[in-house]
């Protein structure tokens, strides 16, 4: 049996806390040690009860969850998993910058929540698929690796996304096959992609096909 994992729920909606408590009780390894309805309560309870994982909402009265994360992380090794309805890019980025170990939406299925809790305890961050684009774009920007495609490369990229072959791209743009292959090679390098399908996916994530 897995060792007991102590959980603290932080959310200002009692109905949601009740539902989340019921979900956690389905899994024998989880022990609910307390519930808080705002950020100050969460900070105090972390100091008193030393949970392993905090499930934290973002927008609450008396200070938001991100502010609580900063203070909790200053004094403890508690893992904090944000559990929110917000799909806003800035909320995700603020949470990660505050030190949150993961970011899930409140419509997450119970088994996914369970896996996420175990993951953050193993230092594996979990981010809801609906908001990963924002995180990917921010990391690329911060590292200075956001690719810049030339006008011709954008034309080639658009045709690739449409499923065109090398010959079809050459014919459409009235350039040689060798020139087309050179453009594709440059695109793959800039997007750090190993093949055309991956390049199309990354270009889409970064908004390079708009």
Q: What is the dihedral of CA 163, 166, 168, 173, to 10 degrees?
A: 110
Q: Write the pLDDT tens digit of every residue in 14-34.
A: 999 999 999 999 999 999 999
- Contacts (Cβ under 8 Å, ≥6 apart) of 34: 8, 9, 45, 49, 51
Last residue of a domain, one of 142, 169, 194: 142
Whether residues 60 and 158 share a domain: the answer is no
Whether residues 105 and 191 share a domain: the answer is no
What CATH number is given to the structural domain containing 57?
A: 3.40.50.2300
pLDDT of residue 139: 52
Q: Which domain holds residue 116?
A: 5-142
Whether residues 157 and 181 share a domain: the answer is yes
Please, what is the average pLDDT of the chain? 87
Whether residues 199 and 109 share a domain: the answer is no
Q: Is the pLDDT of residue 35 over 70?
A: yes
Local confidence band at 1 (pLDDT 50, 70, 90 cut-offs)? very low
Domain-located, residue 134: yes
Q: At what angle do helices 151-161 and 166-173 cross, to 10 degrees?
A: 130
Whether residues 95 and 51 share a domain: the answer is yes
Whether residues 165 and 121 share a domain: the answer is no
Whether residues 119 and 68 share a domain: the answer is yes
Token look-up 């022990």 returns: 31
Whether residues 86 and 170 share a domain: the answer is no
Q: Write the pLDDT tens digit of every residue in 80-122.
A: 999 999 888 788 878 888 889 889 999 999 999 999 999 899 8
Whether residues 100 and 164 share a domain: the answer is no
DSSP state of 85: S
Domain-located, residue 12: yes
Token look-up 């309870």 returns: 45
Q: Is the pLDDT of residue 78 over 70?
A: yes
Domain-located, residue 169: yes
pLDDT of residue 76: 84
Q: Is the pLDDT of residue 183 over 90?
A: yes
Whether residues 103 and 171 share a domain: the answer is no
Number of structural domains the chain divides into? 2
Token look-up 């079809």 returns: 168
DSSP state of 2: P
pLDDT of residue 147: 72
Q: What is the pTM of this model?
A: 0.64
Local confidence band at 151 (pLDDT 50, 70, 90 cut-offs)? confident
Last residue of a domain, one of 142, 171, 194: 142
CA–CA separation, 49 and 34 (whole Å) = 8
Whether residues 115 and 164 share a domain: the answer is no
Q: Write the pLDDT tens digit of every residue in 115-133.
A: 999 989 988 878 887 776 6
List, as one string, the DSSP characters of 146-164: -----HHHHHHHHHHHTT-
Answer yes or no: are the C-beta atoms of 8 and 54 closer than 8 Å. Answer: yes
Q: Is the pLDDT of residue 2 over 80?
A: no
pLDDT of residue 163: 84
Last residue of a domain, one of 142, 164, 192: 142
Domain-located, residue 210: no
Whether residues 172 and 101 share a domain: the answer is no
What CATH number is given to the structural domain containing 200?
A: 1.10.10.10
């Amino acid at each position: 049996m897995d060792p007991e994992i102590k959980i603290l729920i932080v959310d200002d909606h009692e109905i949601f806390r009740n539902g989340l408590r019921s979900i956690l009780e389905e899994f024998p390894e989880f022990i609910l040690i307390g519930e808080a309805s705002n950020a100050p309560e969460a900070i105090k309870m972390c100091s008193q009860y030393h949970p392993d994982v905090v499930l934290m909402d973002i927008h609450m009265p008396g200070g938001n969850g991100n502010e609580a994360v900063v203070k909790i992380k200053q004094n403890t090794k508690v893992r904090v998993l944000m559990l929110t309805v917000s799909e806003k890019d800035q909320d995700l980025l603020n949470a990660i910058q505050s030190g949150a170990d993961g970011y899930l939406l409140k419509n997450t299925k119970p088994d996914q929540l369970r896996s996420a809790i175990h993951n953050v305890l193993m230092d594996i961050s979990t981010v809801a698929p609906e908001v990963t684009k924002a995180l990917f774009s921010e990391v690329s920007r911060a590292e200075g690796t956001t690719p810049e495609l030339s006008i011709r490369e954008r034309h080639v990229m658009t045709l690739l996304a449409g499923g065109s072959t090398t010959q079809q791209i050459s014919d459409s743009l009235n350039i040689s096959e060798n020139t087309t292959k050179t453009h594709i090679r440059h695109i793959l390098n800039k997007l750090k992609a190993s093949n055309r399908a991956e390049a199309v996916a990354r270009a889409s994530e970064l908004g390079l096909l708009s």
